[in-house]
Chain A
Amino acid sequence: MSRPTSCPREDEVMDVVSLGQWPDRADDELRRHATSCEVCRDLALVGVSLHQLSDVMSSEVRVPDASLVWRRSAMLARDEAAERASAPMLVAHVWAFVLLAVVGAAWLAGLIPASVVPALPSDQWWTPLGERIRSVAAVDIDAFADRWAGLAVVLRWGGVGLAALIVAAAAAWLLVLVTDKNEERPADPANRPA
């Protein structure tokens, strides 16, 4: 025979237990029932134990003053608001660095002598754009090439170095920004109430 999992008188027992009046102020008949009913007996034992323990512990514990918790929460809220406000700035930074990297790469493409760069296919959609960038970036230096051959070489390779530096710096800054952002916001799975 399976054990009963509920009793129609559970609520009566629970009412007395939750008032802290079990067993002294419980009805005699209800008490007699609880000694013979396994469900109500367990309910009375567990209910009274936990009710009393809860009362005892609540009276013992000392918690921080509400104003301290309030201040801490306010400061955290301020930090969160600042973080939210800085989000558009991060996007702007990312775009600025991407743009810088593109410009640097274009300059690099224009400064490197044609003989160093492997031949590119001429039938791609970006070919006219590449040619245009190359011509714009290279025209001034090439004008000096005949008369100031040595200076032109220095300018050209100096320019290559500078452009490479810009690209590398943009990449590094971007990396630092992304890393910082991830460190500021660790994975926090805790706050998901409701």
Chain B
Amino acid sequence: MSTRDLTAPGALALTSDDDSAVAEASRALHMDEAAFRGFYDRTARMLWVYLYRMLGDRSAADDLLQDTYSRFLRARVAFESETHRRRYLFQIATNLSRDRHRYHAVRPSHVSHDEVPEAAELSVDGAASLTSRLQLEQALGSLKPRERQMLWLAYGYGASHLEIADVVGIRANSVKTLLHRARRKLAGLLGRPEGRS
């Protein structure tokens, strides 16, 4: 799988190389650089994957990753904890990806074969079933964006129902039912193993 190198020269367009200008400007941000670096290192990969899952487009995920952190840093919010920060970050990402869907009519999760590593077979349910990554990607791509969001938050990141409700913007008591439906739909698409009932 060829990963996009976002660290290459020119991958990010900066308007100035003047460090003192950056230092001056950074006073408007609510975290210092060291704290941000730690937070970024803990969350950036999972956020990118989340955005990619929502958008189905690598370059769009790259763009929104930066946009999400930029908005997060400039937000005037008193964060109570790391969890609060993460939740807020994912809320921004969710809103941005939702708007991108709405205004640019991005087709979610269009998966091409060259994006899927040949060796990445995911072992599911032991020997009973082997679900290829391609099959999983395609199944995810055929879900509705909200279903995909909820499933990814719940099982990709282990978010609680309350966190999912906050990030997706739905009532907490609806999460269980909606999650059950989405899970059932995905399991059907993946070809659930027959039970022994």
Contact = CB atoms under 8 A, between A and B. Distances in A.
Contacts of B187: 41-42, 45-46
A158 B41 CA distance: 70
B174 interface: no
B8 to A, nearest CB: 9
Contact of A35 (B6, B46, B176, B196): B196
19 contacts: A38-B195, A46-B190, A49-B190, A52-B122, A54-B156, A58-B45, A63-B45, A64-B65, A64-B66, A66-B33, A66-B36, A70-B29, A70-B36, A72-B12, A74-B22, A77-B25, A81-B28, A190-B95, A191-B92
A145 B161 CA distance: 88
Interface string B109-126: 000000001001011111
Contact of A60 (B1, B29, B193, B196): B1
Contacts of B173: none
A191 to B, nearest CB: 5
Chain B contact surface mostly: helix
A44 interface: yes
B75 interface: yes
Contacts of A22: 125
Interface in A40-61: 41-54, 56-61
A92 interface: no
Contacts of B5: 62
Interface in B1-46: 1, 3-7, 11-12, 14-16, 21-26, 28-29, 33, 36-37, 40-41, 44-46
Contact of A54 (B7, B129, B152, B193): B152
Interface string A13-51: 000011000111000000000011111011111111111
B180 interface: yes
A193 B95 contact: yes
A67 interface: yes
B107 interface: no
A78 interface: yes
Contacts of A80: 28, 74
Contacts of B71: 190-191, 193
